[in-house]
Structure 1
Amino acid sequence: MRTSVVVMLGLMAVGCSRDAEKPPPPPKLFATEPSEPRRGATPDPTPVFTHLTVKARGAITELERTPEGWRLVSPVEAKADPYAVEALVQQLTSAKFKATVNASPSDADLKKYGLKSPAFTVTAKAYLPDANGEGAEDPSRQRTVTLAGGDENPFDGSVYVRREGEATVYAADGAVRYSLDKGPFELRAKEFLGPLDLASFQSIEVTAKDHAYVLTREADGKSWRMEKPEPTRANDSRLTDLLKAFAGHQALSFPQDTAATRKALGLDTPVVDARFVPASGEPIRVRLAQVTRDGAPVVHALREQGSRSTLAEVDSRALTTLDVGVQELKDRRVLSFPRDAVRRLEFFPGGKAAPVVVTRGEGNSEAWQVEGPGGGRALHFRVVKLLGRLEALKAAAFGEAKVKRWERYGISDASRGVVLRDADGRELARLWLGDAVPDTEDRLYARGSGPDLVEVSMGAVADLPTRAADLQEAPPEAADGGAPAP
């Protein structure tokens, strides 16, 4: 019995000895703990990174955190790629070394690991925020760590890493190398043309290969108008989509921007020349040109705003994004009117038939009423639906511009249609419906607020009322179920 106890105690002692000899777990890449841990101290908060210096791909990239996000400050000043920087910061924040490879490497060892001349180094500066999230200016809360990355271990894809000031060589996951081994191009935002927010501009002028146009903001401050090549209302939603697509073109590379480079790339005689004038601030000019390189077309874009300019290679599709014609830029709304101002609707059945008229009062009397013989209260939701239909009516296609003989299309004062008026009787908009469009199954010629002949869907105007009964509310029935109450 005594022998068994002695043996067990011996085994426990050996186990404790082995546990004491076990090395500590590998630390985080970005160590925030002080050299001598504070007794009873709580774990340090997550560091907030403020500055990064990445030496990789034969270049040194410096990045700073700003209230608007990360920006490159060297070798160029530009917006940083948020995804690339976020991945880098995430690795610094949470990644740990996989294992300790060599605690006391020789020069020969460092050369073997690729750390004599590292493939990349990252110097990261951060601060540990206090309970209020502050502390950026407190020296006691600031931390700086420099990591050097070497060769890849072909066995498991890990990378050899060492921290400045330490001899130990660690192994880190391959994701660490992927996120930290980045050059200026990888760390720089590729979207350089935008944002191009239509709401911020007062005018847009584009000269492209096949089309040229000038657009200006209307006096209401919301809608847009085409001035050239044809004065007409512009399609606001289409403009928004065009600018979004144009701003979305990404840089494939960033050549050095010099006068000689611009000339060699053909930017002195661009294929596309666009100018965006904001309500405040300096205009934005974007030029695109195409050259042939090794038998293939290559397109470059130059964005200029004040003293700032960016030159980039872009996909060839950028040349055609803004090269659109009048038909695409026109507002496809058939009628343009302020809906809240409509107080009278006159529906013309066509021919010599009298119009069906509904009116709406002001103030507390906003119910729609049917005018004329046998008038009375109108079906409110029916009238509201018709107004919505008229407001949303879109041209399926455009026909002849500035028509001189509308009768050729069945459009005259005797045509079926509708007139919208305000409280003073002023005409806000008018719709004329004409003949069926030849060789189509469901289209009519029409005339609306614009100068053009348009084609509209028959289904979109099929429920326009032709008699008062189409809009009249049914009279209340007598209490005994007999004749209607007088």
Structure 2
Amino acid sequence: MNAQQKNLVTLLTVALVAGGLGLYAYFGVMQPEEKEAQRKEAEEKVFAAHSPGERDTDGGAPPEPIFTWISVELPMGKTVMERQDNTWRITSPVSALADKTEVSNLLAQLSTAKFKATLEENPTDADLERYGLKQPRASVTTRAYVPDAQGGGANDPTRQRSSTVYFGVENNFDGSVYLRREGDPRVYTAQGALRFVLQKSTNEWRERVVFPVEESSLLRIEVKARKNAFTLERATTEKPWKLVQPVELRASSEQVTKMVSALNGHRAIIFPSQEDEEKVRRALEKPLVQATFVRKLGGPVRVRITELELGGFKQTVALSEWDSESMLARVDQRALDVLDLAPKDFKDRKVLAFSVREVNHITIHPAPGSEQISLSLAPDTGKWEMAAPMVGIAQQFKVASLLGSMESLTAAAIVESNPKNWGRYGITGTSRGVTLRDATDTEVARLWIGSEVKGNPQRVWARGSSEDVLEVEKSALAALPLALTDLMDGVPGAASSP
């Protein structure tokens, strides 16, 4: 054997020894440590859905379980909740929607709760008595499934998991709680947060949103209240609201949003007892307020609110019904007034009703003695061009600023509707102002600026898209770029501004 062969044999020997050491390190040290870590993690979890070292079908770590059923039993009673079509419901002792936030907090605790320590491996009856586990103070039973790679498995028996945990007394020293698991004789201690999140009566688990309506999803609102009745509607959820009964007028979207939001904000204070429920439902047959909210998707939400005497006190109760759901609850008395609005309350204070996208032509009507200014949107370049009194390219950002400011221009006050004499407010056919037209030269909006408001020199009277006399702040109009020098560069001399 020559020197080169000896060196090769030496290298192979070293490689085999190194490989053997590596295999020993993995199988003899690392793999047992991994298994021990997995075993410890599984044993530390209060609600363990996986056995130590369990792997998914693809060989990876199994996913977290999806809880489908929870039973919480306390001295005050038992509450059973079930996940149905991705919605948690209370199924016993009543049938009702469950509070999403409360259930989420519970699920978070169930998924993460761990034991702090093992106190007794084989407790005696005396030990169980001492820890309050001889007759547990509470218990929670859960059912869950481990989802497969596609997220399914809810009906696969091999993926089903269940667990019951019994709770004892609280450790006054650190606030922890003593507990046991079904099928496990040991006594553990865990953080008190898990016990705290369970301490709720059935009514505390219930959803408290009495009026499940959101303005963004509505197409029609019909209301009959104590003093007022009205109907609002719109063609699509992107269109503005209109009041169609008892009068027709453009409605303030801000006011409608505010009204619906205020109603939605009223939560259930308490739920009527079984003894009182029949009396409450009879009273709701003659409601003080009734409303129907027509949604874009799903059936309408019907609401009834009234007052009645219960337990010697006047109480406000409400019933909401939608799809297959209903909610009967006591609410704050102020809920009666949320929908009781007069038509004038819906008047839109926006001066002009138009969209910037509609506008292709702008005409600025100046004060008498000044030249009219005309601008058009060039179809080939998409840029604003000056047509009169000069021809040229306008300052694009100035025109955009003008249209944006006019679209958002808001009245400071609404003075009068359908006046017999607009002239008394300085508003005539020759008033200064602005006309906006679309691509077909059809007028989409017109602003008339009248004379100064008597007794308030900071405002002027104006007319916009409605038939109302408006008060507009002078400062808002002064900010509009309405002069030739504002809209076009290189103008020799200043032009007067409205």
Using structure 1 for the length normalisation, give the TM-score: 0.82
| Amino acid corresponding to residue 255 of structure 2 in structure 1 | R
CA distance in 2, matches of 1:107, 1:141: 35
Q: Residue 211 of structure 1: which of 218, 228, 243 is its match?
A: 228
CA distance in 2, matches of 1:317, 1:99: 51
Cα 1:434–1:218 change in 2 (3 A) is farther
CA distance in 2, matches of 1:473, 1:181: 73
CA contact (8 A) 1:54 1:183 kept: no
Aligned to 2:23: none
Aligned to 1:383: 399
Aligned to 2:112: 94
Does residue 301 of structure 1 match 2:318? yes
Q: Per-residue deviation at 1:226?
A: 0.5
Does residue 439 of structure 1 match 2:455? yes
CA distance in 2, matches of 1:202, 1:246: 17
CA contact (8 A) 1:57 1:182 kept: no
CA distance in 2, matches of 1:465, 1:134: 61
Q: Per-residue deviation at 1:177?
A: 0.7
Does residue 148 of structure 1 match 2:189? no
CA distance in 1, matches of 2:386, 2:437: 15
CA contact (8 A) 1:55 1:183 kept: no
Q: More helix per residue: 1 or 2?
A: 2
CA contact (8 A) 1:57 1:183 kept: no
Q: Residue 357 of structure 2: which of 340, 361, 380 is its match?
A: 340
Cα deviation, 1:321-368, whole Å, max 9, x if unaligned, reads: 333333432222111124223222221123364422222232x14333
Aligned to 1:73: 91
Does residue 230 of structure 1 match 2:242? no
Aligned to 2:431: 415
Q: Per-residue deviation at 1:64?
A: 2.5
Q: Residue 203 of structure 2: which of 165, 170, 185 is its match?
A: 185
Q: Residue 64 of structure 2: which of 27, 33, 46 is its match?
A: 46
Aligned to 1:481: none
Q: Secondary structure at the match of 1:98?
A: strand
Equivalences for residues 127-276 of structure 1 within 5 A: 127-130=145-148, 133-194=151-212, 196-218=213-235, 222-256=239-273, 260-263=278-281, 266-276=283-293
Q: Secondary structure at the match of 2:416?
A: coil
CA distance in 1, matches of 2:205, 2:486: 65
Q: Secondary structure at the match of 2:290?
A: strand
Cα deviation, 1:305-332, whole Å, max 9, x if unaligned, reads: 2553210122333223333333432222
| Amino acid corresponding to residue 455 of structure 2 in structure 1 | D
CA distance in 2, matches of 1:190, 1:29: 30
> How many percent identity over aligned positions?
41
CA contact (8 A) 1:375 1:472 kept: no
Q: Residue 415 of structure 2: which of 387, 390, 399 is its match?
A: 399
Aligned to 2:466: 450
Cα 1:318–1:438 change in 2 (3 A) is same
CA contact (8 A) 2:228 2:340 kept: yes
Q: Residue 325 of structure 1: which of 342, 350, 354 is its match?
A: 342
Aligned to 2:20: none
Say which is worse superposed, 293-302 or 303-312, in terms of deviation.
Answer: 293-302
Q: Secondary structure at the match of 1:282?
A: coil
Cα 1:284–1:67 change in 2 (3 A) is closer
Cα deviation, 1:32-81, whole Å, max 9, x if unaligned, reads: 354x8779x98654333222112225333222234534333333343322
Equivalences for residues 102-113 of structure 1 within 5 A: 102-113=120-131
Q: Residue 372 of structure 2: which of 345, 351, 355 is its match?
A: 355
Say which is worse superposed, 138-147 or 103-112, in terms of deviation.
Answer: 103-112
Aligned to 2:81: 63
Cα deviation, 1:117-149, whole Å, max 9, x if unaligned, reads: 433211111233456655444433322111122
Does residue 124 of structure 1 match 2:131? no
CA distance in 2, matches of 1:232, 1:345: 26
Cα 1:333–1:146 change in 2 (3 A) is same
CA contact (8 A) 1:32 1:44 kept: no
Gaps of 5+ in 2: 1-39, 493-498
Q: Secondary structure at the match of 1:270?
A: coil
CA distance in 1, matches of 2:280, 2:354: 47
Cα deviation, 1:151-175, whole Å, max 9, x if unaligned, reads: 2233332222222223333222211
| Amino acid corresponding to residue 358 of structure 1 in structure 2 | L
Q: Secondary structure at the match of 1:399?
A: strand
CA distance in 2, matches of 1:464, 1:86: 51
CA distance in 1, matches of 2:423, 2:336: 42
Question: Cα RMSD over matched residues?
Answer: 3.1
Q: Residue 488 of structure 2: which of 447, 467, 472 is its match?
A: 472
Aligned to 1:7: none
CA distance in 2, matches of 1:373, 1:43: 76
Cα 1:71–1:220 change in 2 (3 A) is closer
Q: How many residues align?
A: 448
CA distance in 2, matches of 1:95, 1:467: 70
CA contact (8 A) 1:115 1:149 kept: yes
Q: Per-residue deviation at 1:466?
A: 6.3
Aligned to 1:9: none
